[in-house]
Structure 1
Amino acid sequence: MMSGNLSVAHFGGYFHRRPRVVGALFIATAFALYYFFIINGAGDAILEAIYDPDTTNVSLNSILRTSNKYRRHPIEPPFKDKFWEVGQRSRNLSQWITILDSRWGSELPEEDRHMLVNAIDETAISLFPFLQPPDTKQDSTAPLGDLRSSFTKGSKGIVISAGGSDSSARFAGHLIASLRDVLGCTLPIQVAYAGENDLPKHRRDALSSLDKTHSTEFLDVWTVFDDSTLQLRRGGWAIKSFAALASRFEEVIVLDADAVFLQSPDALFEQHAYINNGAYLFHDRLLWQHGFQDRHKWWKDQIKEPSPAMNKSLVWTEDYAEECDSGVVVLDKSRPEVLVGLLHIAWQNTYAVRDEVSYKITYGDKETWWLGLELAGSKYEFEKHYGSILGWGKEDNKENNTVCSFVIAHVDEKDKLLWYNGSLLKNKLADPHGYEVPIYWMMDGKWKKGGKKDMSCMVDERVRWLSGEEVSVLQRSIEAAIQVDELLGLGGPN
């Protein structure tokens, strides 16, 4: 017994004579305990014990605990009932990024700031595994931070997805020629694709030659994201959200290749709906009321607290079928909530999620755009009107109160025609050579849905003529498109 007491006294005297050793051991033990409990998920009570609330900001403690919980309990399939939960976690993630970017975040001690950055990236990776870079970039330990750093501050530009088929490349060529040569748009353009075979070099060179401003670039999304969980070559529309994420532009206009503009896309950045919210979307046609009950039941289940934007929706309040025409989407990625909303959108377009849910319950990527922003708590706004129509009168309609075509048209905040989908062809699915300038348009009428060969029509509202300037824009765009067809060796006469 005496020997034991002497041993304790001996060690006590040793440490008393060497206070630096005591300090070093204390620090080492504290770090060992911290990392042991973080890695092994010891729980909130132990994390509280590690941090002294008198010396460490309590909100940082909360972030670390919540991040650790998310890491221990990742989102797993089946995904159909997980959209709300992904949204709730996304809301926390955007709040943490906002904190990091705030004055409070910038004044954190270096060690605390490092822990906050790690918590943000670990949460982002657990929620959105596609953020892990491809094998060529495995040295990245902070992929979300690296992605944000890749955005050129203050930049604005256009992203066009043009891979997958000759027709997609052809329509992208039409769009680039119209934007540059007809509308005088000087915004830089990135043409997005998924790997060399998706848009071969000779096609890229041809598209590049169309831009006399020399400000068209090419973005291989595979160089930014690991395609093993995305399968973008098989995904069709799915590449669009990843192209928006990967783009270097901070403020980005995402375009389908077959979009047709009657005003320069610069006007999109000037719409108050975009300026006020940082996310601007366009409506689909108002169709098929009460026709998709399973879809609506699922939306009602996952959107547990609808936003003001959601409560304005006739799809939400009156049970119509489709909300969004995603041929044009405008996003400000410098706003954390918009960026995280885009991450939610991209998650819905990953292979596993779209194959199980997104593309099964709704049509393609269209509804993923507003749903991701809605669930992630990001402000967004749609154009005032549901989809308009631009086209021709019906031959057997003597009253001239009908406009028919294969496209959906959209207006700006002053109700002036801005763009429409479907290409410069009268019917791109039936006649790849049939260019024709439309002469009428209508908005807020009643839709009568057609098919692949039968035009859809709108009735019961005033038929409007296109202005001389609008007709001129379309005529010159068609002339430019014919030259593109000759250059690319696509389309052309039978």
Structure 2
Amino acid sequence: MLPVEVPYCGDLRLERWTKLSQQDPLVRFYDVCELAANAAMGGPNGRKLFCVDLGHCHDKFRGFDIKVLAVIYSRFQEVMLLDAGTLFFQSPMALWETDKYKSTGTLFFHDRICLEYSFLAARSPFVGGQDGMAIGALHRFLADFNVKPYHQLDVVGRRDPSLQYSEQLLGLDLDFQPSSFLINSHAWKLHTGHQMDSSLVLWNKARQPRATAILASFISLNGLPTVPSYGDKELFWIACELAETAYAFSDFAVGAIGPDLVTSGSNNDGVLCGDALQHFPEQIDAAKGSEADAEPLYMNSDYILKWGGTTKRLYSTAARAAELYPGSFTERKLPLSCPFDVTTTELAPAEATLLTQRFTLPKNFTCAREKPITGDRI
């Protein structure tokens, strides 16, 4: 079992912190905003890095960007970053041993393919690329970013063929060599305003020093443009892309889990409305074959504490390849929480039981360990 760190931004009362620490003294609570407020170039009297003072830090980091600070100020080199609304259906410990993580020091998951005119895919009036090709906010941000100051830092080498055709770059003059993943991504093709779900991120700072420095620059007081992402969603991915380092995404697209089965689907013909469901990022049972369904790994929900009290039948979607573009929610006139053309199945009893256990967990929070845990992972 790994140690746990809980970052906060001056918003955890002392009595609450004390109570939680007594229940599990091996959980570290750390005020990342206090740390960030004291960070400066060249010593205490130098130029401030993240915020001008503590109040500014509270205004700036009591939101999504606290997750980036949490990684930067973690005492561990290898970090598994989790949202509080994440519920696992199997142990995440196996993720450390995946080929994806071991080869790159990263592991990312996909977000819903939606909002094709917002965030990464937002268009500016009368702005186009080569031969009238549309240009989105992601394209503009990447084209304007200067990567040269970070070249002295190390990366994980890519095994990626060089792009041969200028039309793949939409006529953009990029300061870095883009990966084939970027050029083939749904975000690059303006199919979606989101690409990455940051509810679970694996990140190795020791193996990704250049990407970590670029990640920190995204939230620094440096006058650089803001990443056109919804919160922190794509910051980790874009940092790796600009760093020209190898990184890894799940093989599978985000699915759904919930009680609202609009249309039952046995062969990619269903519609299920619900919260985000992620499958194990690679097929772990080779005997099943590449077409077999991957195992559910975790769900993410803002309403996760309500799930354990439901008496309704619960359903989930089968895994499908991340590179598949199913079409537009807008054109299908469906909410973003309702993936379509999916295979659906009723939730297994063991998986439903986990939801009930999570429902009771906050009421019975306790944890006992026999000895301290040390190491480089969190």
Q: Which moved more, 1:280-289 or 1:308-317?
A: 308-317
Partner deviation per Cα, 1:302-328 (whole Å, 9 max, x = no partner):
472211332342222454221111111
**Structure 2 unmatched runs, 5+:** 39-47, 124-135, 146-173, 284-293, 321-325, 366-378
What is the SS of the residue equivalent to 1:282?
A: strand
Matching residue within 137, 148, 151 for 1:295? 137
Name the CA shift for 1:447/1:267 in 2 (closer, same or farther; >3 Å). farther
Q: Give the residue type in structure 2 aligned to 1:233.
A: H
1:475 maps to which residue? 356
Partner deviation per Cα, 1:63-98 (whole Å, 9 max, x = no partner):
xxxxxxxxxxxxxxxxxxxxxxxxxxxxxxxxxxxx
Structure 1 distance, partners of 2:31, 2:205, is: 19
Structure 2 distance, partners of 1:461, 1:346, is: 38
Partner deviation per Cα, 1:385-408 (whole Å, 9 max, x = no partner):
22211112346x577932112x21
2:259 maps to which residue? 392
Matched, 1:366 2:233: yes
Matched, 1:418 2:297: yes
1:307 maps to which residue? 179
Structure number with larger C-alpha Rg = 1
Matching residue within 242, 250, 268 for 2:95? 268
The Cα of 1:269 is off from its aligned counterpart by: 1.0
The Cα of 1:299 is off from its aligned counterpart by: 4.1
1:17 maps to which residue? none
Partner deviation per Cα, 1:217-239 (whole Å, 9 max, x = no partner):
12222454335533432221112
Matched, 1:187 2:187: no
Structure 2 distance, partners of 1:270, 1:468, is: 27
2:27 maps to which residue? 216
Decide whether the 8 Å contact of 2:309 with 2:356 is kept in 1: no
Q: Percent identity?
A: 26
Please show how residues 170-249 of structure 1 align to structure 2 within 5 Å: 186-194=1-9, 197-211=10-24, 214-222=25-33, 224-226=35-37, 229-230=50-51, 231-234=56-59, 235=61, 236-249=63-76
The Cα of 1:436 is off from its aligned counterpart by: 3.4
Q: Give the residue type in structure 2 aligned to 1:237.
A: F
Name the CA shift for 1:391/1:341 in 2 (closer, same or farther; >3 Å). same
Q: Give the residue type in structure 2 aligned to 1:220.
A: D
Partner deviation per Cα, 1:252-297 (whole Å, 9 max, x = no partner):
1111222222222212212221111101111110113455234144
Name the CA shift for 1:399/1:365 in 2 (closer, same or farther; >3 Å). closer
Q: Aligned pair count?
A: 280
**Which has the higher relative contact order, 1 or 2, with Cα contacts under 8 A spaced 6 or more apart?**
2
Structure 2 distance, partners of 1:392, 1:299, is: 39
Name the CA shift for 1:238/1:420 in 2 (closer, same or farther; >3 Å). same
Decide whether the 8 Å contact of 1:323 with 1:367 is kept in 2: yes
Structure 1 distance, partners of 2:298, 2:91, is: 9
The Cα of 1:245 is off from its aligned counterpart by: 1.5
TM-score, normalising length: structure 2: 0.65
Name the CA shift for 1:436/1:296 in 2 (closer, same or farther; >3 Å). same
1:345 maps to which residue? 215
The Cα of 1:468 is off from its aligned counterpart by: 2.5
* Structure (1 or 2) with the greater helix fraction: 1
Partner deviation per Cα, 1:80-139 (whole Å, 9 max, x = no partner):
xxxxxxxxxxxxxxxxxxxxxxxxxxxxxxxxxxxxxxxxxxxxxxxxxxxxxxxxxxxx
Decide whether the 8 Å contact of 1:389 with 1:408 is kept in 2: yes
Decide whether the 8 Å contact of 1:295 with 1:362 is kept in 2: no
Structure 1 distance, partners of 2:302, 2:192, is: 26
Decide whether the 8 Å contact of 2:307 with 2:359 is kept in 1: no
